[in-house]
Amino acid sequence: MKFARHTRNEVEVNLTPLIDVVFLLLIFFMVSTTFTKDTQLSIDLPEASGAPGTLAERTLEISITRSGEFAINEVALINNQLKTLINALQKVSEGDNTLPLIITADSATPHQSVVTAMDAAGQLGFSHLSITTKNFREQN
């Protein structure tokens, strides 16, 4: 008896689709990974000294109500324009821009009014500026 021999075909594994899938997974993980960089804000904290601080003899205070009306040292201004505020600050400070300036605004004051007060102080060259909040009662 003569048996027919079957020729075996070599089994090949095509690696190209496997490599494609691996590269696609690599690209997916590279794109979907978030790289976080911790940012830090450096703050120079004041240091306490043994000597008590001295209070300024004169200070200027710009008060801003909820409706955006200005007052300098509790004296109301006639309007809310920048020029009026600059003129009043210059008159009250007598040209001395080294005086400490405090901007006190109501918690509901529009930001534009506070920016206007800061702009007036900056145009006159005030360098000692503090910003505080206070609840003003509207007078009827």
| Residue 14 pLDDT exceeds 80 | yes
- Provide the pairing of β-strand 101-105 with 129-133: parallel
User: How far from the centroid of its chain's Cα atoms is residue 78's Cα?
Assistant: 32
Residue 113's nearest CA partner among 50, 48, 67, 68 is 68
Residue 2 burial by Cβ neighbours in a 10 Å radius (0-12, 13-18, 19+): exposed
- Mean pLDDT over all residues of the chain? 81
How far is residue 53's CA from residue 134's CA, in Å, rounded to a whole number? Answer: 24
pTM for the whole structure: 0.56
Specify the pLDDT at position 19.
Answer: 93
pLDDT in tens, 15-54: 899 999 999 999 998 888 877 766 665 666 666 666 655 5
Of 2-6, 35-39, 54-58, 98-102, which one has max mean pLDDT? 98-102
Please give the span between the terminal C-alpha atoms of the chain, in angstroms, as a whole number: 123
Which of the four pLDDT bands, split at 50, 70 and 90, describes residue 8?
confident
- Tell me which amino acid residue 20 is: D
60-133 belongs to CATH 3.10.20.30: no
Instruction: Tell me which DSSP letter residue 129 carries.
Output: E
Residues 73 and 61 sit within 8 Å (Cβ to Cβ): yes
DSSP secondary structure letters along 45-82 = -----SSPPPPPS--EEEEE-TT--EEETTEE-S---H
Which of the four pLDDT bands, split at 50, 70 and 90, describes residue 140?
very low
Residues 62 and 101 sit within 8 Å (Cβ to Cβ): yes
